[in-house]
Structure 1
Amino acid sequence: MYPIPAFVEAGGLITYGFVLDEQWRLVAASIGKILKGAKAADLPIQQPTKFELVIKRRTAKALGVTIPRSVLLRADRVID
């Protein structure tokens, strides 16, 4: 299991992790507040709220792994 989809796109089996675009938006918002004078210590800790499941079928087949249909249906993206 990998943390970001790029690994699955490169041939990995599965990834489950936070959506990078959302995380970068949170970082940018915090930086904007700091640039406007806020103290970093006063900003709340923010955690990702959106996660993504990506599966590569070709890798599963090569490994002899059967991904249950229920998991495939829950995936945000299935790569053939």
Structure 2
Amino acid sequence: AEKYRAAAGVVARILRGAKPAEIPVDYSLRFRLVINERAAKAIGLQIPQSVLMQADEVIR
């Protein structure tokens, strides 16, 4: 939701006349690691337990 609010702010600035090339790029500092174990297994990918433990969410 945070990214959508930021995007809406950029759109609002453009609609008010700002030049898109002059609007700074907003880089996210928060990332989530989500692993889909079923998809990984379907393509023959084994996810190490150490990586699974670091994941914010594991889809089983």
Shared fold (TM-score greater than 0.5)? yes
- Structure 1 or 2: more strand by fraction: 1
> 2: distance between equivalents of 1:60 and 1:43?
38
Deviation per residue, 1:45-79 (Å, 9 max, x gap): 222332222112234445262x2222112112101
> Does the CA contact (< 8 Å) of 1:55 and 1:79 recur in 2?
yes
Query: TM-score when scaled to structure 1?
Result: 0.52
**Cα drift, residue 30 of structure 1:** 0.7
- Residue identity matched to 1:36: R
SS in 2 for 1:27: helix
Matched-pair identity in %: 46
5+ unaligned residues in a row in structure 2: which ranges?
Answer: none
Aligned length: 59
Deviation per residue, 1:4-40 (Å, 9 max, x gap): xxxxxxxxxxxxxxxxx44333221111122233332
Query: TM-score when scaled to structure 2?
Result: 0.61
Aligned to 1:54: 34
Q: Does 1:26 align with 2:6?
A: yes
Stretches of 4+ aligned residues off by more than 4 angstroms: none
Map 1:1-80 onto structure 2 (within 5 A). 21-62=1-42, 63=44, 65=46, 67-80=47-60
**Highest CA radius of gyration, 1 or 2?**
2
CA RMSD, Structure 1 to Structure 2 (Å): 2.4
